Every structure is written in structure tokens, then in C-alpha cells.
Chain A
Amino acid sequence: MTDQSKRIKDYFCKHTTRCTIEGVKKSKRFVGHDVLKADAWDKVTGDAVYPDDISFDDMLYIKIKRAVHPHAILKDIDISRAKKVQGVVDIIVAEDIPDVRQFGLIIRDQPVLIAPGEKMRYMGDALAIVVAETKEAAKKARDLIKVKVEELEVITDPFRAMEDDAPNIHPDGNIVITHHLNRGDVDTAFKDSAIVEENRYQTQFIDQLPMQNEAGVALYDERHGVVDIWAATQWLHDTQADVAQSLRLSKDQVRIIQPTIGGAFGKKEDVSVHIHLAIAAMRTGRPVKLCFTREESMITQSKRHPITIINKTGVDRDGYLTAWETKFIGDTGAYASSGPAVVHKGMYHATGPYNCPNLRGVSHAVYTNNTYAGAMRGFGTAQGAFAYEQQMDILAHKLNMDPAEFRLKNIYKKDSITPNGQQLTHSVNAEETIKRVMELSDWKGGRK
């Protein structure tokens, strides 16, 4: 590593990441000191207990039979052969749990099990919960479950989903939610701009890929009517409330115990193993364990939203942003998850850290038959950053202006107002950051 890149790295460590560094002004207790992580000792010795590490005597293993098609009506599910596998204790299908309600982070649109006559909407939908004495028996039985379906059009593109003749994935249509943003007089500002640049950007699905897959164990205390679930979640109390409402229990009948989590990055905001574990524990009266494979985790749990971003940006002759119009179309997949918030938040950050007086925006979170998308580091803003920084580079080029200077002209300062009207009253160091990067990188105006 060259000295220069080392300096840049140190600088970023100090200003943007979670690394500890030397040489910062020290407070008396923690700030500016190296603080050793409290649970590091457990983690370097293998003592730390992650969900999959917990077991009980007499424990049963769960495997989930999942959708066989991304968009189809379940006609029939036949578990007769599966039930005969030696070691199978219970196979739970939708008709066994008629009172169980749908769940979901923002909109409760996810079924616990798909019933005959209902639709599977992506490959991760659960059709049956297989409970057995061994993992092998559970897998074998799962693979013996026979399913008949009526296939429907599979929608993988949100633009197709928004067309009038597209089949509805959910009863209320395919646009989950629409948000608007309006400030100033965009049309006049565009008219008065020296340059107006419009481009379309597309981001892709990304799996958060925490190292530990979704996993958990559960235990039912019949005497007190309480189910204990050891499984990871990023929203302990929301998960508890969602599981409780789904199972029609009171919250104090659902205890969620958070073991050590092997990473999450947004992926563990959604309910994963929890409800299936609780149902199996309550029906069998025995401790149960459910661990996803990596493949199952990828198929079943959330992703970063692919977002189509259409940005139209105006500047005046001096290089000041005049107007910004944006459209965010986020593919939230089969279920809403955090989608309504993610796509909407992405739009509010459409201009990044740059001042622009006239704004207009619209965002749609749209259902498709893809794996559902939810939270991932940045919550919609990472997608937007790709698009607005490209806009800034293209505009600088057209203005024949140093892209760093162009950014400095427009950068947020103290008292700047963000698109959703928030006034930045303190700690606005974006300008300083750009200047330091220019200095540390010996910035020569974008020329070699």
C-alpha cells in the first residue's frame, strides 16, 4: 500500500467506519480509546452460542416444503407418502392451522403456510412443516410431499407488474405503495437551466449474505402456555408482536431470546424461522429446531431492492443545481417486507448530499414474483447514490468543470435543507470530507 492510499484509508476509518484508530483527541472514558469488544473472548474460543448451537434432549428437526413454482395456485398437497417415512412425527399443512394469521414487517401480507386454493407467490413460500426425529427423515419426507398447482403468469419485472393487464399478485394490485415529493417550481427551473440531463439507472438484487443462515430452536411450556424461541431477529419486540398476532397469542406468551447473531445486515429484520418453530413446538410438545441451508436462505429471505431510478437534473451556467426530478421504482418481490419504507427513503435521498431548490419525485414499491426485497445496509440510499453520483459526473463533464469543484459548489452545509424538509443544524462535514479527499489524493481536477 502506498503512503498516500494509507493516509486515505486512515482518514476514512476516522470519519466513516467502525474501525478504531489512534491519534484522535481522547476523552476520559471511551471515545478515542481502543475498546475491546466485550464478547470477543467468547467468539475466539468458540464458546459463543449461536442459534444453531442450541439443542435440547428429545429435540425434533424441521424441514420446510417450499413452493414449486413462483406464481401458481396450490390445487392439492398430498402428504400421505411423506407421513410414512420412519421417524416423521408431524407434517403440518395450512388446514391444520386455520386460525393462524398472515405476518409481515410493515404490511401483513405473508402467509404462514399456503392453503389449497391460495397462491404461492415466490419460490420461498412455505407449503408444509415437516417435523421428524432426525434431519434425514425430515428431508426425505419433505421430498416425498406431492403438490399439484395451476401455473399463472410469472412476473419478474416491476414494469410488467404495473401494466393494466398484468395479473394481480396480491388482491389490491401490484403497486404496494406510492410516495410523492414536491418542492419549488420544477418546470420553470428546468426551463431556465443551462443544461438538463436525464438518465435511467438500474441496480440489481443483492443478498445481504450474513455468514450465519437463519436458524432457531423453540420450546413450548404447555402449563404456562408460553413458547420460547431462540432465533435471531433485528427487531426483537416487533418480531415478538408479529409472531404473537399471527398465532393469536398474547405477547407475554411469546418469548424471543436472542442468541449471538452471526451477522444480519438487514436480512434478519424479517420473520424467518420463528412462526414455523412455534407452531411445531406447540403441536408436538417437544423442542424443535429449524436451520436453513444457504440455498434456502437465499431463496426465502429478503434481498436488497433492485431499483430503477430515472433522474432528470438541471444546472445553471455557474454549476449550481437548479432542479431535480426523480422516479424510484423498486422491485419488492412477492411480499412488502420493508419495501414501502426502503423505496420511499431512497427517493428522499435522491439528490444525495447536494442542495437543490426545486424537486419533484415519485416512488413505487411494486410486487413481483421475485424473492421479496427488504432491508439492507443503507435502506434504499445505496441504490440512489449510484444514480446521483453518476448524474453529478455527467453534468460536471458537460459543464466542463472539475467534478470535485462541482460537488463542492452544491454540497450540503450547515443549515442546508434536505428534500424531505429536514434542516441540517449540526455536524455537517461533507464539504470538509471532499476537501480532505482532494488533498490526500493529490486531486488534479480529474486529470492524470
Chain B
Amino acid sequence: MQITLTVNGEQRELEVTPYTRLLDLLREDLGLTGVKEGCGKGECGACTVIMNGELTASCLVPAPQADQAEIITVEGLGTRDNLHPIQESFVEAGAVQCGYCIPGMVLAGKRLLDENPKPTEKEVRYGLSGNICRCTGYAKIIDAVMLAADKLAVEGSDSND
């Protein structure tokens, strides 16, 4: 069956089957391997994407349910030479170790800041509560999101002035 969806701003038409998960579709058919599989059961958040504006575990979405959806993966944020402030903050805060959870964490952080630009530490923890990291112990990931909030606030005030 045919579906149409927008991935990182680009409209795609794809032939899919229902036993293909959105995760497989993004990774295998579109080559967006920044989307990771850690559990396949919604528990770890490694496969997180932003779907229609909300955090979504792409391992729990049969591909046809993504018809007409708007998807953002980590590849849609910034590139190596032009990082999104949230990505930059993860690098600077030392929040990255093995990196396997990081694409999901970055997206969860971004989604949180889109809605709540000045979160408290507690709000950051709640916002990231669907993402497991086994390396860092979270402290620096939380620092990174707070740092990103500061960066975005400065950027925002610049553009408003």
C-alpha cells in the first residue's frame, strides 16, 4: 500500500506494508539510521521521532499509521557543521557517551523546549522520562537541555530586538 508522509520537511511517497514499523521504514527504506532500536517495545525511547508535533516511539507505529504524518528525526535538526542549539549543547555539556540514546534524547529535549522554553530541572526530567540512557547517569543530559534553553533564550531575544 501507498502512503504519503513528510520526513524532515521533505514529502515522500512510499510503498509500505503494515508489518513494517515506522522505525524500519525510516531506517531501512529512507536510510535515516539516526533512529535507533533499543527494545522494540516502547520502553527505551531510542527510536523516538517527533510525529505530528509529539514524541513518538517509532517502534510502535505500523507504517500505514504514519500516512499523512509529519515526521522529524534527528537528521532533520542540524548537520555537523551547523548544529541545532540542542545538539550543540549536548556536545558542550559532555552529555554524550556511547551515543545510542542521544538521537532520542535530543529530540525529547527539543520537543520539551518547543513547548516550554524555560523548564525547571523537574520538568526536564519529566520531558525526558521516556528515554533511557545507560551510560551517563542523566546528570549531564539534563545539564545539556538546560544549557540549550539558555542558548535558545539568547537567540530568541536577539531576533526579537
Contact = CB atoms under 8 A, between A and B. Distances in A.
A/B contact in complex, CB under 8 angstroms: yes
A45 B99 contact: no
A213 B97 CA distance: 16
A161 B155 CA distance: 66
B94 A44 contact: no
B83 A45 contact: yes
Contacts of B90: 40, 44
B52 to A, nearest CB: 20
Contact of A209 (B32, B46, B98, B134): B134
B96 A40 contact: yes
Interface residues of A, number: 34
A41 B91 contact: yes
A154 B36 CA distance: 37
Interface in B87-119: 87-88, 90-92, 94, 96-103, 106
Contacts, number: 109
B91 A211 contact: no
Interface string A186-215: 000000000000000000000001111100
Contacts of B79: 45
B133 to A, nearest CB: 7
Interface of B: 19, 27-28, 32-41, 44, 46, 73-75, 77-80, 83, 87-88, 90-92, 94, 96-103, 106, 132-135, 139-140
Given A53-B33, A262-B100, A211 B133 contact: yes
A99 interface: no
Nearest to B80: A41
B32 A46 contact: yes
A51 B28 CA distance: 14
A292 to B, nearest CB: 11
Interface string A211-226: 1110000000000000
Interface string A257-296: 0001111110000000000000000000000000001100
A293 B36 contact: no
A245 to B, nearest CB: 29
A45 B74 contact: yes
Contact of A260 (B44, B99, B103): B99
A263 B91 CA distance: 18
Dominant secondary structure of chain B at its interface with chain A: loop
Dominant secondary structure of chain A at its interface with chain B: loop
A138 to B, nearest CB: 13
A210 B133 CA distance: 9
Interface of A: 19-20, 34, 36-37, 39-50, 52-53, 55, 136, 209-213, 260-265, 293-294
Contacts of A260: 98-99
Given A41-B83, A262-B100, A293 B94 contact: no
Nearest to A135: B24
A294 B98 contact: no
Given A210-B100, A212-B100, A264-B98, 4 more contacts: A19-B139, A40-B96, A44-B102, A50-B36
A265 B134 contact: yes
Given A41-B80, A293-B40, A211 B101 contact: yes
B86 to A, nearest CB: 8
B74 A44 contact: yes
A52 B133 CA distance: 18
A53 B32 CA distance: 9
Contacts of A136: 19
A11 to B, nearest CB: 14
10 contacts: A39-B96, A40-B99, A41-B80, A44-B87, A50-B100, A52-B33, A53-B27, A211-B134, A262-B98, A262-B99
Contact of B135 (A41, A48, A263): A263
A136 B24 CA distance: 12
Contact of B98 (A44, A52, A261): A261
A42 B80 contact: yes
Contacts of B133: 211
A37 B88 CA distance: 12
Contacts of B41: 294
Given A48-B99, A211-B132, A265-B134, A36 B40 contact: no
